[in-house]
Structure 1
Amino acid sequence: MSLDFSKVENNPVPLIAEKHNSNVAFVVYRNKNKNVVVYAANLREDGTLDPENPLDVYWIMFEQDGAPREDLNMIERNTAYGATVKPREGHPGQFEVTLTSLKDRVIYLSIVDGKVVGHGTINGQENCTLERVFVYSTTSWGLPKVQHIEIHGHDASGNAIMEKKLPECGNMADVVEDSAVNDFLLILEEHRKNCERQGKYVEAEIAKNRLEELKVHEENRRKEAMRSRQIAERLGVEEAHMLEFQQFNQVWDRKMDEYERNVEDLVINMREKHKSELLEFQQKLLEKHQKPKFSKDLLNLRRIEEHLARQKDYGEAHKIKLKSDALEAWELEKWRNLKQQEMFQREVTFKQRQKQDLDALQKRIQSGREEQKKQRQVDLERLLQRYQNVKAELQQQQNLERIRHEKFVQRPGGVAR
């Protein structure tokens, strides 16, 4: 097994598990040198994770004889390689691990079949077992420049899986690169001090000038990186808002279209119902048999006609009959006209009642339509206000970041491993 852990193909986990710590969960290593950052579990006597301190993070210095262990320094804990750990809700004995440099994902630390494992998402697949993270960097102006990060592990079926992250995809590249720059400046500063102690003042002057030049270059790089990132953050907020705004309009357009389809069905159904009810009403009016009520004069003439016929006075009876028939025909015509007028009026009243029902429905529909428009406007104002709040909060955070950066520049710089 090769101990050159500056190459991604040389996996340090098996060696570390065998020779150094069998409870290793995963590691971070780099092409910069052979040293490896180990993330190992602290177990109690019963084999469960120590709830007080479940994760131990440290260096194994493979560049040095004996590969000694070294703890992370403060800068490394807070930036490049530190981690926060908390119990996982609803899963006793498991813990959520978030690496300072990979805050976009959560690693679930647990014991599976007596073995320490860290589960998480790799390349979009959930429930993968994280094994190692490799950082590949080059140099620019003598300073390290992270090119990409590889996250290696196994999927739920045990197949190897890898995710490649470019520097702009996450903040591990930035923090690891900052740590590497500090490493380089630390070496150069140590060289300057050695030259000074040995009386090599020309070399010390060269080292001092180089340090100043690199610090200026690094400061400009950090400023440009911060400016580019802040622009990207603002554009990200704008893009997210536009996407949310489009989704908002799509949802509300669908909702209002659905409402219009529903109310159209309601109107059509009511009109069909009214049409059916009107036909039924007209049919009942026609089927209703009513006999006309003749006048007293007509009834009296008919009695006289009958009396004359019984008396065999047919001539007078005929005259009275003609007069009675004419009066009956007149009264029948009058009755029919009145009855037709009555039916027409009852039909008009029936139609008016139907129109009132339809008008009431149309009024309820319009009221619902206005209520929808009002609610849409309220939701839109909330969306815009939320966007303004996010913008203001981001602007405040970016202003504070710039202020902290300026203060950091004005004080003596520190260096990390």
Structure 2
Amino acid sequence: MKRNMKTYTFIIISFFLISNSFAQNENYPIPPKTNKLLFYIQRNLNANTIIYDAVFDKDGNLNKEKPIEVYWIRYAEQGQKMKLRRLDRMFAFGVSWKQVNDDDGLYKVKIVADESRDLWLKQVAPFKAIILTKINGEFSILDKIYVLADMSGMWPTVEYLEVFGRNAKTKKKTYQKIPID
């Protein structure tokens, strides 16, 4: 009996240690899942969340002029939606895109703060799109990014990103922690 109790205690402690190894704040609100939601970014600074939504025309196709809308949900305030400020768009959370092929609703997307990462916006059904990227070497549907930044200096310094998604084929969860030098 004593040995079983030690085993159970070890398993429970191990579970908490493993689950706490991800720095993302579990107390942060999760944005509502809609057909427009592509992915979101949360940071250690506060619960305010950057949302990346697909923009569709009246027929359910991606809007060719502006296929992605980026905005804040200000959870740390009153939960209101707010446009990105110019500095946020230009240096951190803004996006650029280029349509790859007119026929298949595929766009190459870049986040301003990390132009080295390839993201692909793909329409999968009317009024439904996903963002694809490599997460830990696996082609995945991007769900969220968590940014841990050191706020002690004059400007925040990003220490690492945690990227969460689902394998594009198997739908199993994918994860990658990316240190920033």
When normalised by structure 2's length, the TM-score is 0.77
2:94 aligns with 82
1:35 offset after TM fit, Å?
Answer: 0.3
Give the residue type in structure 2 aligned to 1:29.
Answer: Q
SS class of match (2:63) = coil
User: Are positions 1:164 and 2:181 aligned together?
Assistant: no
Deviation string 1:77-123 (CA, Å, 9 cap, x unpaired) is 11110110110137522211111112112211122245321011111
Name the CA shift for 1:8/1:98 in 2 (closer, same or farther; >3 Å).
Answer: same
Name the CA shift for 1:74/1:89 in 2 (closer, same or farther; >3 Å).
Answer: same
1:9 offset after TM fit, Å?
Answer: 3.5
Structure 2 counterpart of 1:147, from 144, 159, 171: 159
Give the residue type in structure 1 aligned to 2:26.
Answer: E
SS class of match (2:87) = helix
Give the residue type in structure 2 aligned to 1:40.
Answer: D
Matches within 5 A, 1:189-208: none
Give the residue type in structure 1 aligned to 2:143.
Answer: E
1:120 aligns with 133
2:68 aligns with 55
2:32 aligns with 16
Name the CA shift for 1:122/1:142 in 2 (closer, same or farther; >3 Å).
Answer: same
Give the residue type in structure 2 aligned to 1:42.
Answer: V
Q: Aligned equivalents of 1:42 and 1:90: distance in 2?
A: 16
Q: Aligned equivalents of 1:167 and 1:36: distance in 2?
A: 21
Structure 2 counterpart of 1:106, from 107, 118, 122: 118
Q: Aligned equivalents of 2:155 and 2:62: distance in 1?
A: 40
Matches within 5 A, 1:265-414: none
Unaligned runs of 5+ in 1: 1-5, 169-417
Structure 2 counterpart of 1:135, from 147, 157, 173: 147
Give the residue type in structure 2 aligned to 1:26.
Answer: F
SS class of match (1:16) = coil
1:142 offset after TM fit, Å?
Answer: 7.8
Q: Aligned equivalents of 1:31 and 1:91: distance in 2?
A: 40
Q: Aligned equivalents of 2:99 and 2:110: distance in 1?
A: 12
Structure with the largest fraction of strand: 2
1:124 offset after TM fit, Å?
Answer: 1.7
1:57 offset after TM fit, Å?
Answer: 0.6
Whether the 8 Å CA contact 1:87–1:95 is kept in 2: the answer is: yes
Whether the 8 Å CA contact 1:26–1:38 is kept in 2: the answer is: yes
1:22 offset after TM fit, Å?
Answer: 3.8
Q: What RMSD over aligned residues (CA atoms) do the two structures have, in Å?
A: 2.3
Name the CA shift for 1:123/1:142 in 2 (closer, same or farther; >3 Å).
Answer: same
Q: Aligned equivalents of 2:102 and 2:63: distance in 1?
A: 17
SS class of match (2:32) = helix
Whether the 8 Å CA contact 1:59–1:71 is kept in 2: the answer is: yes
Unaligned runs of 5+ in 2: 1-22
User: Are positions 1:69 and 2:76 aligned together?
Assistant: no
Structure with the largest fraction of helix: 1
Give the residue type in structure 2 aligned to 1:9.
Answer: E
Percent of aligned pairs with the same amino acid? 27
Name the CA shift for 1:70/1:164 in 2 (closer, same or farther; >3 Å).
Answer: same
Give the residue type in structure 2 aligned to 1:124.
Answer: G
Q: Aligned equivalents of 2:28 and 2:46: distance in 1?
A: 14
Give the residue type in structure 2 aligned to 1:123.
Answer: N
1:139 offset after TM fit, Å?
Answer: 3.9
Whether the 8 Å CA contact 2:138–2:174 is kept in 1: the answer is: no
Deviation string 1:299-331 (CA, Å, 9 cap, x unpaired) is xxxxxxxxxxxxxxxxxxxxxxxxxxxxxxxxx
Give the residue type in structure 2 aligned to 1:88.
Answer: V
SS class of match (2:142) = strand
Aligned length: 157
Whether the 8 Å CA contact 1:16–1:22 is kept in 2: the answer is: no
Q: Aligned equivalents of 1:75 and 1:30: distance in 2?
A: 17
1:162 offset after TM fit, Å?
Answer: 0.8
Give the residue type in structure 1 aligned to 2:32.
Answer: I
